[in-house]
């Protein structure tokens, strides 16, 4: 009986040596460029610049997963350009232009007026008034009012935004603005201006400087000079300045001194608690409490 020798194992098909390589993501595109990591062919749309040569989309994405994202000093996202500061500058300027066009309507609708907030429930004035300033035809400071506040925001804002991160800086500014309006609500009658928020930034800059071990005397001089001007120059709302300074300092303490463990939770919880207290003050107390004796 004769036996047949075993058949040799099947050999895998060899690619045609003359075949033109195509992109692994776009088979209809010819390419002679390979990813430096996985060596798959990639077309120009799939190329990503690398330290040496190019890499494909998947390899770049996989490498980025292991890269720790840069963070701000106090846990916020890394800030390369202070966009929140620039946005606040733009909003203030646009609001001022609206005042120039229709002064009476803008001020009557959005300016901080204690009795309207307390008796008529026009709560939006607590925040909108912080983006308004003395109109150029209204006497007093006129154009100087917005120029000084915007200069202070431009000088102080970017540094704090880089230290805190964009979201925390925005929260600091807005809560400080509300704190300034609450100061007017409890102790004054009416006011406009970003000064409450600006004083909040001054207080925050002092807190951050102390936390980082910097010499805070320059900040104290800045605050001191502005406090003196507040009481020397007529027509300035010391109530708004005081409210903003105290509020901004407290928010900065919550952000700067939060422990490493559960930092974000403590920071946002502290800022939320401060905001809740401000809202409670408006809900419980009548406007101009101390001026009218309760």
Whether residue 271 is found in the same domain as residue 168: yes
Whether residue 240 is found in the same domain as residue 153: yes
Whether residue 45 is found in the same domain as residue 93: no
User: In this structure, what is the dihedral angle of CA atoms 221, 91, 140, 244, given to the nearest 10 degrees?
Assistant: -40
CATH code at position 53 = 3.30.160
Residue 168 lies in a domain: yes
- Per-residue pLDDT 10s for the chain (294 aa) are 555 555 555 554 444 555 788 988 898 888 888 888 888 898 888 888 876 678 888 888 877 665 555 778 888 888 889 999 999 999 999 999 999 999 999 999 999 999 899 889 899 999 999 999 988 765 556 688 899 999 999 999 999 999 999 999 999 999 999 999 999 999 988 889 899 999 999 999 999 999 999 888 888 898 888 888 888 777 788 999 999 999 999 999 999 999 989 999 999 999 999 999 999 999 999 887 655 443
Whether residue 121 is found in the same domain as residue 241: yes
The pLDDT tens digits for 38-71 are 888 988 888 888 766 788 888 888 776 655 557 7
- Number of domains making up the chain: 2
Whether residue 92 is found in the same domain as residue 27: no
Residue 169 lies in a domain: yes
Owning domain of residue 49: 19-60
Q: What is the pLDDT of residue 16?
A: 53
CATH code at position 129 = 1.20.1540.10
Whether residue 166 is found in the same domain as residue 197: yes
Whether residue 148 is found in the same domain as residue 232: yes
Whether residue 159 is found in the same domain as residue 45: no
Residue 8 lies in a domain: no
Whether residue 43 is found in the same domain as residue 187: no
Question: Please, are residues 46 and 56 in contact by the beta-carbon 8 Å criterion?
Answer: yes
Q: CB-hemisphere CA count at 13 Å for 16?
A: 4
Residue 2 lies in a domain: no
The pLDDT tens digits for 25-41 are 898 888 888 888 888 89
Q: What is the pLDDT of residue 294?
A: 38
Instruction: Spell out the residues 6+ positions from residue 161 whose beta carbon is closer than 8 angstroms to its own.
Output: 79, 82, 84, 85, 169
What 3-state class would DSSP assign to 50? coil
Residues 247, 278: Cα–Cα separation, whole Å: 9
Residue 14 lies in a domain: no
Whether residue 92 is found in the same domain as residue 234: yes
State both tokens at 260: 């490493």
Residue 127 lies in a domain: yes
Q: What is the pLDDT of residue 73?
A: 83
Whether residue 94 is found in the same domain as residue 55: no
Q: 């925001």: which residue's tokens?
A: 153
Active-site residue list: 195, 241
Whether residue 48 is found in the same domain as residue 128: no
């Amino acid at each position: 009986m004769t036996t047949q020798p075993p058949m040799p194992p099947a050999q895998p098909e060899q690619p045609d040596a003359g075949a033109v390589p195509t992109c692994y993501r776009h088979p209809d595109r010819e390419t002679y460029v390979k990813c430096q990591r996985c060596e798959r062919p990639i077309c120009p749309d799939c190329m990503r610049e690398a330290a040496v040569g190019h890499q494909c989309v998947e390899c770049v994405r996989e490498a980025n997963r292991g890269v720790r994202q840069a963070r701000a000093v106090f846990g916020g996202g890394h800030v390369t350009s202070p966009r929140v500061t620039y946005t606040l500058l733009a909003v203030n300027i646009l609001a001022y232009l609206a005042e120039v066009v229709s002064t009476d309507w803008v001020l009557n609708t959005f300016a901080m007026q204690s009795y309207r907030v307390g008796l008529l429930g026009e709560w939006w004035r607590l925040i909108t008034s912080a983006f308004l300033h003395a109109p150029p035809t209204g006497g007093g400071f006129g154009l100087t009012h917005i120029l000084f506040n915007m200069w202070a925001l431009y000088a102080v804002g970017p540094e704090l935004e880089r230290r805190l991160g964009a979201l925390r800086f925005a929260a600091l500014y807005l809560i400080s603005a509300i704190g300034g309006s609450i100061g007017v609500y409890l102790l004054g009658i009416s006011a406009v201006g970003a000064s409450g928020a600006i004083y909040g930034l001054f207080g925050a800059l002092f807190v951050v400087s102390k936390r980082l071990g910097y010499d805070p005397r320059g900040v104290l001089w800045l605050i001191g000079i502005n406090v003196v001007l507040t009481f020397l120059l007529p027509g300035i709302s010391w109530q708004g300045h005081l409210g903003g300074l105290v509020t901004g300092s407290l928010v900065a303490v919550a952000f700067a001194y939060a422990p490493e463990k559960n930092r974000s939770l403590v920071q946002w919880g502290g800022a939320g608690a401060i905001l809740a207290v401000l809202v409670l003050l408006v809900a419980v107390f009548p406007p101009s409490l101390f001026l009218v004796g309760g």
